[in-house]
Chain A
Amino acid sequence: MSTQTQPVRQKSPGDWLTSGPLRFLVSIGVPVIAFLFLRWSFVLLRDQEANRILVAFIALTIGVFGVWILYLLTYYLTEQLPERLGERVRPFVFVGPAMVILFIFLLYPIGHTFYLSLMNADSEEFIGLKNYRTIFTDEQMLITLRNNGLWLISVPLFSVSFGLIVAVLVDRIGRWESTAKAFIFLPMAISAVGAGVVWKFMYFVRAEGEIQIGFLNAIITKIGGSPTNFLETIPLNNLALIIIMTWMVTGYCMVVISAGIKNVSTEVLEAARMDGANELQVFFRIIVPIIRPTLITVGTTVLIWVLKVFDIVYVMTNGRRDTQVVANQMYTELFRGGSVGLGSALAILLLVAVSPFIVSNVRELRRRRA
């Protein structure tokens, strides 16, 4: 499939409307009439309980096509504006809706959270930065921060490397590519609770002499070792949890990197090979530089997930035996009857921890533009 490189100049759908007030009336009138009609019909649909499938169908149509029509309509409206103004406004047609949604759904809550982080446990008293001080002085919290450091280094390192290796390898095995990818991808499709069950079959431990139904302990006892409780033994338990996270996230890295590799044109690769480059050189000199932005993207997202991860820890150990991480601590404080203030402060801490990635990404953005 190849795309046309010479796009045909599109006829403006508004050409038939000559100009002026009529055009304006139409622009305003169509949505108003549509709204009134829709309000009436949607309420009607909601009332009829029997028509569940019909409701579903109309709802899906609206959800899927509605957004597109919205964009095209707004863009059409900007085309009706004077040339200069239209030129200025147009990028915001593209980026505006996204920013509005981001603001409502994510950025506004941050402000609220920051406010709460300066308050005490039940948000009734202003206590300034005391919660932040607690974070950096409490002994348990320091262990938590150490664990987060451990996660931040190992998970992205392992998962991006594995993902890259797999993506490059499967790119070359032909018709089994999808199947091979599916195996690596599979863990992503499992919820945290599911992952908990899956890894129970791996980590499960029984007393020495009993039949081990955990895979790893079965191997260990088979070769003469004594069974190990992976989840309660310090510091093995942290590694056990990190492995689960890596196992799940590698699929993501592989899929995105694989999409990036498809962007490396065959000609370039062929040319390099013709010039006598060996496969390792091709990999490091050609493939890696070209997909560098993808690698940064993948690395950043994994890092951010690692910061936010809590469900694996919550399900498996809930932070006991020195396995606590910031996000789980935050969840516990916020939703399990802890201190809302401390929980909020931890959330802000997580956001601050994201900032280095912001800097590096914005720099990358600027570099690209230059």
Chain B
Amino acid sequence: MRTQKTFIVLLLVIALAVPLFSTSAQEDLSGKTISVFAGWTDETEVARVEDGFAIFEEQTGADVQYTGSSDFTTLFQTRVQAGDVPDVACFPQPGLMAQYVDEALDLNSIMDEAYLQGQYAQAWLDMATINGKLIGLWHRVTVKSLVWYSPSAFATYGYEIPETWDELIALSDQMVADGFTPWYAPIESGGATGWVGSDWIEDILLRTTSLENYDAWTVPQYKGLERLPFTSPEVKRAFELMGQIMLNEDYMFGGTEAILGVSFFDSGVPLLQDPPDALLVKQGSAMPQWLDPNPTVGPDGDLMYFYFPPIDEEYGRPVLVAGDVCAIFNDRPEVREFAKFLATAQVLEPWVKAGGALSPHTDVDLDWYPAVDRGVAEILANATSFRFDGGDLQPGPVGSGSFWVGIVDYISGDDLDTVLTEIDAAWPEE
């Protein structure tokens, strides 16, 4: 009884005083902890990422603490503004990383320039250089320039893989003549609806204009170029070429209703129907993972892909990529070591082996890839050039704002010139 009373008194005393005073967070004295913050939250994804970090932990004994949040963008901005920056942050879009160019460390100042050039192809380093400051280490990448099809359907109905744009259109026409609606391109993605269409524009643009123009369209401010506006004939042509497929009621299964109304996660569904409702879907290398149950991918599997064919010969076989990029925010010896580790393919080894990730590192072993991913990796390796997803590079109000809105407007039947002017209007003034 007595102890109970004492306990109550004790509680009361505590209750009385705690609200007055804050309690301090634990002082970190070990100095060997590296905090990594990113947007990976899916349990399998997180496991792959952490497996990669574990290799570093084993090598050095340091503790890499990964935390992820689906609200990464908001949280990271809040933390940076409040002055609570993690050691390393990995961004889903390089355009997002570019906002923190002042806070991020110059990688050339913390590791050898030659080392970095040995680990990444120059194009990757260029894409992570903001205002002449190299801040990004590329992590997992995916390839967007793929068209998915059902090998069995192609065999049944006697179709062949097109090698050029004209062949692609001829194939589509043949399919229409055979009574099919060849294409399927649902783009619904809640607040982000439209990004699928922006991938189309980027892929087409890479095939119809020079890389310099593409850079001028996406990141003129970092390359010292004059901006190529959406209203330029080049971009307009890309929209029209997309429209040639997207706005063609004979081509598009479900018409505009399905494009705007169906979730992009269901992109692959009609390919897998028996009989197939549609035969061609342009989507990135991640598409099969959205389907439940996961389809088998391969020449004899449920699904297979081919390279989205070139359009104008002189621009070769470019590839559109997307991926995550990590920046370093605190300069400590252990963080430097970790940054060096991030620049090696090892960090991705578990993920690459498990499938679903491509490594941008030069020291990646092609044998790590499962057969399916190896094909995609080869497409990337054989590309005459590659560029990053433009919407991810452009300033937020355009790249993840007016561009997407413009796609929806164009597909809804709005006048193209008006749509393009409206997209341009959101470009931030200097």
Contacts and interface: CB of A to CB of B under 8 A. Distances in A.
Interface of A: 30-31, 34-35, 37-39, 41-43, 46, 58, 61-62, 65-67, 69-70, 73, 121, 140, 196, 204-208, 210, 227, 229, 231-232, 313-321, 332-339
27 contacts: A31-B16, A34-B17, A35-B17, A38-B14, A41-B14, A62-B19, A65-B12, A66-B16, A67-B19, A69-B16, A140-B425, A206-B258, A206-B262, A207-B258, A210-B258, A227-B257, A317-B191, A318-B191, A318-B192, A318-B404, A319-B405, A320-B194, A320-B409, A321-B412, A337-B95, A337-B99, A337-B396
Given A318-B193, A320-B405, A337-B395, A61 B257 contact: no
A198 to B, nearest CB: 13
B14 A58 contact: yes
Nearest to B71: A335
Listed residue (B19, B26, B95) with the most chain A CB atoms within 10 angstroms of its CB: B19
Contacts, number: 136
B13 A316 contact: no
A335 B11 contact: no
Contacts of A231: 261
Given A38-B18, A43-B24, A335-B73, A207 B190 contact: no
Contacts of B253: 207
Interface of B: 11-21, 23-24, 26, 73-74, 77, 95-96, 99, 190-194, 253-255, 257-258, 260-262, 395-397, 400-401, 404-405, 408-409, 412, 422, 425, 428
B257 A35 contact: no
A206 B261 contact: yes
Sorted nearest first, the 9 A-B pairs with minimum C-beta distance are A337-B396, A318-B191, A207-B254, A205-B261, A34-B17, A66-B15, A320-B405, A38-B17, A62-B18
A206 B188 CA distance: 11
A227 to B, nearest CB: 6
Contacts of B24: 43
Contacts of B396: 332, 336-338
B347 to A, nearest CB: 27
Given A61-B11, A62-B15, A315-B191, A336 B73 contact: yes
B404 A320 contact: yes
A317 to B, nearest CB: 7
Interface majority SS on B: helix, strand, loop or mixed? helix
Contact of A316 (B99, B191, B262, B408): B191
B21 A70 contact: no
A42 B193 contact: no
A321 B261 contact: no
A229 B261 contact: yes
Contact of A69 (B15, B191, B254, B425): B15
B394 to A, nearest CB: 10
Nearest to B412: A232
Contacts of B16: 30-31, 34, 66, 69-70, 73
Contacts of A61: 11, 14-15
Listed residue (A30, A231, A314, A318) with the most chain B CB atoms within 10 angstroms of its CB: A318
Contacts of A37: 13-14, 17
Contacts of B404: 318, 320
Contacts of B255: 207-208
Contacts of B422: 140
B19 A336 contact: no
Contact of A208 (B14, B257, B395): B257
A334 B422 CA distance: 21
A88 to B, nearest CB: 24
Contacts of A69: 12, 15-16
Nearest to B192: A318
B426 to A, nearest CB: 8
B391 to A, nearest CB: 12
Given A70-B16, A318-B191, 17 more contacts: A31-B16, A31-B20, A35-B17, A43-B24, A66-B16, A66-B18, A205-B261, A206-B254, A206-B262, A229-B257, A320-B194, A320-B408, A321-B405, A336-B396, A337-B397, A338-B397, A339-B397
Nearest to A72: B16
A41 B13 CA distance: 11
A316 B263 CA distance: 12
B66 to A, nearest CB: 19
Contacts of B15: 61-62, 65-66, 69
B361 to A, nearest CB: 28
Contacts of B258: 206-207, 210
Contacts of B18: 38, 42, 62, 66
Contacts of A39: 21
A338 B14 CA distance: 46
Given A43-B24, A69-B16, A336-B400, A229 B260 contact: yes
Listed residue (A121, A227, A229, A334) with the most chain B CB atoms within 10 angstroms of its CB: A229
